[in-house]
Copies of this chain bind each other. A is one copy, B any other.
Amino acid sequence: MESLKTKVLEQIMLAKQASRQMALRSRDEKDKALFAIADQLIADEAAILAANEQDLSRAEADGQPASYLDRLRLTPARIRDLVDGLHQLASQEDPVGQVMESWTRPNGLAIKQVRVPLGVIGMVYEARPNVTVDAAAIALKTGNSIVLRGSHSAVHSNLALAGSIRHALSAAGLPSDAVQYLPYAEHESVDVLCTANGLIDVIIPRGGAGLIQRVLKQSSVPVLETGVGNCHLFIDSQAAYGMAEAIVLNAKTSRPAVCNAAETLLVHRDWPLTHQHALLKSLLSAGVELRACEQTKALHPDLADQLKDASDADWDIEYSALIMAVRTVDSLTDALEHIQRHSTGHSEAIVTEDLEAAERFLAAVDATTVYHNASTRFTDGGEFGFGAEIGISTQKLHARGPMGLPALTSYKYVVHGTGQTR
């Protein structure tokens, strides 16, 4: 009997073989395959929903909460969203084959730096089955193979979706083995994926901090880390009130659960006290729980009942909820010091009319994206104009911040000579 490791490695090797063909396919061939996948999902809708029903029944029997069931659930409308996403992706430029740079050396060697696919992507993710289609589509568009390992609670849904994708690939003349789904409940299947150096070129974990940390620790294959966002807004002494209020409310309340939402508000103590007071009232009116430092509470005694006490731990929490930590700082330097200590390096913003303070902030803060007079909520592939987004990288190697299609490519040097030797 085959061991689990052997079975997983076989799938990975099939993906590797297919990746060599994928790398040579034209944009036109890949886009046709994306349309074929879209058509196949519509044709297979009943079977996909039936498979999803199996996963939902089990999750319900297991007593999973409603929010969990909602993430797991597929509906005709959600399948339509996947189809729309595939059509949009097909309309985007193909980064593969782009000549990034080219030059000729004094000895006549002509060197070109050409974008190529990464090869084989390993994807480990939780719950939502739509990731199966989104991730496979982005990998195929960029000429890669992908080995998927989703949450075992969605295994029937994921296998049905992967089956439709593979069927459509064959019909479109592309290697169906470019998309592999690992259906194993055992965590060992993730271990094999994360240590398949030479076969897997990058691992992308998508999910909670626990999943990401586990993959980071056990992986010898390079990992593209998408991390948490403990994002700060600093209201400088020279901030315009209306702008500050609009940005703070937007960054905190428009979608508190996402990683680019703001968690901590830093207020310069020299910002007019009436402004400070109005801003806190405005946040409270919007239903935001405020956890304030002692200085803030002292400055606004009439709000004492409505301001909770911030503990030291509050400066490091990504609330992902309508809660905000508030701290009064004595200077821009103190704000920078606070951010340096507590930032997760995701997105940080300053609101000010003082251009010198803004430039100092933008230069000193070490984060994927730093903002002057705009909401942190813009850290997003779509908002940046990238089209498809693979995630937001919080590491510094390879890709940082919102990742578009080029993040799934590497490059090679193509050198033409006329017999040069060294």
Contacts and interface: CB of A to CB of B under 8 A. Distances in A.
B222 A372 contact: no
A151 interface: no
Contacts of A364: 20, 24
A277 B222 CA distance: 45
A414 B369 CA distance: 6
Contacts of A118: 396-397
Given A20-B340, A416-B372, A410 B422 contact: no
Given A105-B385, A395-B222, A412 B401 contact: yes
B412 A367 contact: yes
B422 A370 contact: no
A398 B400 contact: no
A273 interface: no
A378 B372 CA distance: 45
Nearest to A421: B250
B372 A111 contact: no
Contact of A109 (B111, B378, B418): B378
Copy number in the complex reads: 2
A217 to B, nearest CB: 5
A246 B378 CA distance: 57
B413 A370 contact: yes
B415 A243 contact: no
Given A254-B421, A419-B243, A422-B377, A400 B385 contact: no
Contacts of A420: 373-375, 378
A384 interface: yes
A76 to B, nearest CB: 29
A363 interface: yes
A261 B372 CA distance: 51
Interface string A112-141: 000010110000000000000000000000
By size class, the interface of chain A is 35 or more
Interface in A133-185: none
A257 to B, nearest CB: 14
Contacts of A370: 412-415
A419 B372 contact: no
A202 interface: yes
A52 interface: no
Interface string A70-108: 000000000000000000000000000000000101000
A417 interface: yes
A247 interface: yes
Contacts of A23: 366
Contact of A398 (B119, B251, B397): B397
A368 interface: yes
A11 B222 CA distance: 26
A97 B308 CA distance: 42
A383 B240 CA distance: 54
A373 B418 contact: yes
- Interchain residue pairs A-B with the least CB separation, the first 8: A374-B417, A250-B421, A396-B410, A243-B419, A398-B398, A377-B422, A369-B413, A397-B398
18 contacts: A20-B340, A20-B364, A23-B366, A111-B384, A201-B396, A201-B397, A246-B421, A367-B412, A370-B415, A372-B416, A374-B416, A374-B419, A374-B421, A377-B422, A378-B422, A397-B410, A400-B410, A402-B413
